Structure 1
Amino acid sequence: MVESHFEKATFAGGCFWCMVKPFDTYDGIESVVSGYTGGHVENPTYQEVCRETTGHVEAVQITFDPAIISYDELLEIYWQQIDPTDGGGQFADRGESYRPVIFYHSEEQRLKALASKEQLEKSHLFNHPIRVDILPAKHFYRAEEYHQDYYKKQPEHYQRYRTGSGRARFIETHWNKK
Structure 2
Amino acid sequence: MSETAIFAGGCFWCMVKPFDQFPGIISIVSGYTGGHVEAPSYEQVCGGKTGHTEAVKIEFDPNLITYEELLDIYWRQTDPTDAFGQFQDRGDSYRPVIFYLNEQQKEQAVKSKQQLNDSGRYLEPVVTTIEKAHPFYPAETYHQDYYKKNPSNYGATSQLRKNYLEQVWGDD
**TM-score clears 0.5:** yes
Residue 56 of structure 1 is matched in structure 2 by 52
1:27 aligns with 2:23: yes
User: What is the alpha-carbon distance in structure 1 between the residues aligned to residue 39 and residue 153 of structure 2?
Assistant: 27
Match of 2:101 among 98, 105, 109: 105
User: What is the alpha-carbon distance in structure 2 between the residues aligned to residue 81 and residue 115 of structure 1?
Assistant: 18
Residue 91 of structure 2 is matched in structure 1 by 95
CA-to-partner distance for each residue in 1:95-137, whole Å, 9 max, x for gaps? 0000000000110000000000000000010000101000000
Q: Percent identity?
A: 57
> TM-score normalized by structure 2?
0.99
Alpha-carbon RMSD across the aligned residues, in angstroms, is 0.6
In structure 2, what residue type is equivalent to 1:62?
Answer: I
SS in structure 1 at match of 2:36: coil
User: What is the alpha-carbon distance in structure 2 between the residues aligned to residue 12 and residue 113 of structure 1?
Assistant: 13
Residue 146 of structure 1 is matched in structure 2 by 142
User: What is the alpha-carbon distance in structure 2 between the residues aligned to residue 160 and residue 101 of structure 1?
Assistant: 24
Residue 162 of structure 2 is matched in structure 1 by 168
State the 1:177 CA deviation. Answer: 4.2
Aligned residues: 172
Residues 7-46 of structure 1 correspond to what in structure 2 (within 5 A)?
7-46=3-42
User: What is the alpha-carbon distance in structure 2 between the residues aligned to residue 177 and residue 118 of structure 1?
Assistant: 22
CA-to-partner distance for each residue in 1:51-70, whole Å, 9 max, x for gaps? 11001000000000101100
Structure 2, unmatched stretches of 5+, are: none
Residue 80 of structure 2 is matched in structure 1 by 84
User: What is the alpha-carbon distance in structure 2 between the residues aligned to residue 53 and residue 131 of structure 1?
Assistant: 23
User: What is the alpha-carbon distance in structure 2 between the residues aligned to residue 134 and residue 107 of structure 1?
Assistant: 11
Residue 137 of structure 1 is matched in structure 2 by 133
User: What is the alpha-carbon distance in structure 1 between the residues aligned to residue 101 and residue 63 of structure 2?
Assistant: 17
State the 1:167 CA deviation. Answer: 0.5
User: What is the alpha-carbon distance in structure 2 between the residues aligned to residue 177 and residue 56 of structure 1?
Assistant: 34
User: What is the alpha-carbon distance in structure 1 between the residues aligned to residue 69 and residue 85 of structure 2?
Assistant: 23
Residue 125 of structure 1 is matched in structure 2 by 121
User: What is the alpha-carbon distance in structure 2 between the residues aligned to residue 113 and residue 52 of structure 1?
Assistant: 27
